[in-house]
Amino acid sequence: AQSVTQLDSQVPVFEEAPVELRCNYSSSVSVYLFWYVQYPNQGLQLLLKYLSGSTLVESINGFEAEFNKSQTSFHLRKPSVHISDTAEYFCAVSAGNRDDKIIFGKGTRLHILP
Amino acid sequence: DAGVIQSPRHEVTEMGQEVTLRCKPISGHNSLFWYRQTMMRGLELLIYFNNNVPIDDSGMPEDRFSAKMPNASFSTLKIQPSEPRDSAVYFCASSPGSSSGANVLTFGAGSRLTVL
**Any residues with CB less than 8 A from the CB of B100 and at least 6 apart, and which?**
none
Residue in A9, A4, A16 with CA at minimum distance from that of residue A85: A16
HEC string for A73-92: EEEEEECCCCHHHCEEEEEE
pLDDT at res. A45? 94
| CB pairs A-B closer than 8 Å | 62
Measure CB to CB from residue A100 to each of B98, B106, B110 and give the nearest one: B98
pLDDT at A97 over 70: no
pLDDT-derived band of residue A98, with 50, 70 and 90 as boundaries?
A: low
Per-residue pLDDT of A43-78, as tens digits, reads 899 999 998 888 899 998 899 999 999 999 999 999
| Interchain CB distance below 8 Å, B108 and A43 | yes
Query: If DSSP codes are grouped into helix, strand and coil, which group holds residue B98?
Result: helix
What is the amino acid identity at position B17? Q
* B1 pLDDT above the threshold of 90: no
The partner residues of B37 in beta bridges, in order of sequence, read: B43, B89
Say which amino acid occupies B43. L
Please indicate whether, in this complex, the C-beta atoms of B105 and A49 are within 8 angstroms of each other. no
B51-75 average pLDDT score: 93
